[in-house]
Structure 1
Amino acid sequence: MTDKTTAPSMASTLKSLDTEECIDIWFYRPIGYRWALLFRRLGVSPNAVTIMGIFIGIAAGVCFYYPNLRVNMVGMLLLIWANSFDSADGQLARMTGQKSPLGRVLDGFCGDVWFFTIYVAICLRLMPEWGLWVWVLAIVTGSYHSKQAAMADYYRNIHLLFLKGRAGSELSHSQAVAESYHRMTWRGDFVYKLFEMFYLRYTRSQERSTPRFQEMMAVIRRDYADEAPEWFRTAFRTRSLPLMKYTNMLSFNTRVIALFVSLLIDVPWLYFAFELTVLNAMLIYMMRTHEHFCAQFTMQLKEAAR
């Protein structure tokens, strides 16, 4: 049989059950898997799926501008549809091996565009009542949203690094990103160099927020030839695994549930309040806990290397 007639299992299209959320495992991943099989059969590329998802998500955001429950519910369905495509593009890429730098650019761009549209729609909707102050609230909330998503992504990739090795993780080191950035030219690689410029800032921000983890990684590079020992990998996974639920809650599903509830009760500003209070509390707990056990592991690694 040919590749196109041999369907890979859904499990083979997932990164790791450690980092998958229940809603994703039982809802988005099965739907995304079916989309991926269809798109593979039709010869649609992962990048094309991502682009379709971007426009569906933008349409969803526009629907949230209207103070009409039916229109809002159409937007909710569109956002669910868009996220199923966001799941499908990665699953399709793992099925077919069609991975590219452009795909990475588009995937990172996708969620940002959705939520930018949603934020603008909510602000325009609330302006008659709130005036320009709603934009101040949205800008503050958006800055924390970016931090929450960035740190959730970072901790998830750290976990995958020690669980599956470098091949199973997308964890980046700013030094390597900087080298890639400087190798490119603005004339020949404009889009990729522009992405690397922003990605370098993004990676450096993640590293500045995790000094204890950076110290631990420096010990692994210096004393263990950049290869973490097996006892450490097992112990790290045990300590890191309980935090994966927070990385998931700080990503898509929890914030979208809060968004939907705020729209259903016609109090959309509650979504911003949820981001600033509940999700920030999760972020602080997650970061403090992770930094604490990284400091402990640093001491253990130093002692074991003597």
Structure 2
Amino acid sequence: MIHPLGRRLLPHALRMGVSANAVSVTGLSLGLGAAIAYSRYESPTLAMLGLLLSVMWLVADGLDGMVARATGTSSALGRLLDGVCDHGVFILIYVALALRVGTAGGWALAIAAGAAHAVQSSLYEGERTRFHRRVKGIAEGETAPGGGWLVRQYDRLAGLPGRLARPFERKLASSADPSALAQVYGARATAPMKLLSLETANVRVAAIFLACLVGDPRLFWWFEIGPLTLVVLAGLVWHRRVERGLLQFSTHNPTSPAEPARFFVKEQGQ
């Protein structure tokens, strides 16, 4: 529903000359409205309003990128603004709910959930970017560590999934037929990426609404800390297992690699 709505709004935004940055800021305003509505989540009407405004924010979040691409105005500043607005909306909602709960335990849960959210989103975006690049047959180049000691330590921790994925990147880079390997990889990696898609903002928006509707936003924070953490860990392990199964891939015997984790496939009903 969200991306089709964005595509329907795109011609109107272009005709009105609305900039991508203006759409991002509008999305942040809608998120602020959602946070205010959710601060009175005991009212089903206001909880519904919070959901509606959140969905409108998601539409704006997709529309700003569409406008930027259509007008050729993509920029580093725009990407930064988009990211700030995205994270800002969730921060506003988390704070509004924590203020409403009004206990030390509520604040602790909100902060822990926010930290888990940040790590999960970073890992998911890394895997998603990696997947979309690879299915085009493009391997990631080697990068040398840089910066000071603190920067290098951060990169070492944040880059762990990339280092674990490095053997497949080398395989793709040295493949005699990268497009064939990319095709097989795409077919096998789609399932773990579908699992990881539970880390999208759409899922969190729905979970926030349901938790508020039943009268306890702490349920959402526990969902963030527990199930969503397990999802991202399972998705990472599954994705790396798919990669390992393709390290012996040969264009002369493309069915030679072991099949990916079938129990995950069965769990997802694929």
What TM-score range do you get, normalising by the shorter chain?
0.7 to 0.9
Task: Return closer, same or farther for 1:243/1:201 CA change in 2, 3 Å cut-off.
Answer: farther
Aligned counterpart, 1:103: 78
**TM-score, normalised with respect to structure 2:** 0.81
What do residues 150-182 of structure 1 show as CA deviations (whole Å, max 9, x unaligned)? 12212211121122366xxxx987948x88x99
Aligned counterpart, 1:241: 190
What do residues 195-214 of structure 1 show as CA deviations (whole Å, max 9, x unaligned)? xx99x998765421343212
Q: Is the 8 A contact 2:134 2:182 kept in 1?
A: yes
Q: Is the 8 A contact 1:174 1:203 kept in 2?
A: no
Select which of 57, 71, 79 maps to 2:54: 79
Decide which moves more: 282-291 or 238-247: 238-247
Residue 213 of structure 1 pairs with residue 162 of structure 2: no
Task: Return closer, same or farther for 1:174/1:266 CA change in 2, 3 Å cut-off.
Answer: farther
Select which of 226, 231, 256 maps to 1:277: 226
**Which letter maps to 1:139?**
I
Q: Is the 8 A contact 1:35 1:85 kept in 2?
A: no
Aligned counterpart, 2:237: 288
Q: CA deviation at 1:70?
A: 2.3
Task: Return closer, same or farther for 1:292/1:28 CA change in 2, 3 Å cut-off.
Answer: same
What do residues 255-278 of structure 1 show as CA deviations (whole Å, max 9, x unaligned)? 211111111111111101111222
Q: CA deviation at 1:69?
A: 2.7
Aligned counterpart, 1:42: 16
Count of paired positions: 250
**Using the alignment, how far apart are the partners of 1:232 and 1:151 within structure 2?**
24
**Using the alignment, how far apart are the partners of 2:39 and 2:53 within structure 1?**
14
Q: CA deviation at 1:300?
A: 4.0
Residue 297 of structure 1 pairs with residue 246 of structure 2: yes
Q: CA deviation at 1:279?
A: 1.4
**Using the alignment, how far apart are the partners of 2:74 and 2:154 within structure 1?**
21
**Using the alignment, how far apart are the partners of 1:202 and 1:165 within structure 2?**
29
Structure 2 alignment gaps of length 5 or more: 254-270
**Using the alignment, how far apart are the partners of 1:174 and 1:108 within structure 2?**
26
Aligned counterpart, 1:185: none
Q: Is the 8 A contact 2:35 2:92 kept in 1?
A: yes
Select which of 126, 150, 154 maps to 1:154: 126
**Using the alignment, how far apart are the partners of 1:144 and 1:267 within structure 2?**
19
Q: Is the 8 A contact 1:250 1:279 kept in 2?
A: yes
Aligned counterpart, 1:258: 207
**Using the alignment, how far apart are the partners of 2:197 and 2:12 within structure 1?**
27
Task: Return closer, same or farther for 1:81/1:174 CA change in 2, 3 Å cut-off.
Answer: farther
Q: CA deviation at 1:247?
A: 2.8
Q: CA deviation at 1:91?
A: 1.6
Residue 163 of structure 1 pairs with residue 135 of structure 2: yes
Task: Return closer, same or farther for 1:234/1:175 CA change in 2, 3 Å cut-off.
Answer: same
Q: CA deviation at 1:85?
A: 0.7
**Using the alignment, how far apart are the partners of 1:52 and 1:204 within structure 2?**
36
**TM-score, normalised with respect to structure 1:** 0.72
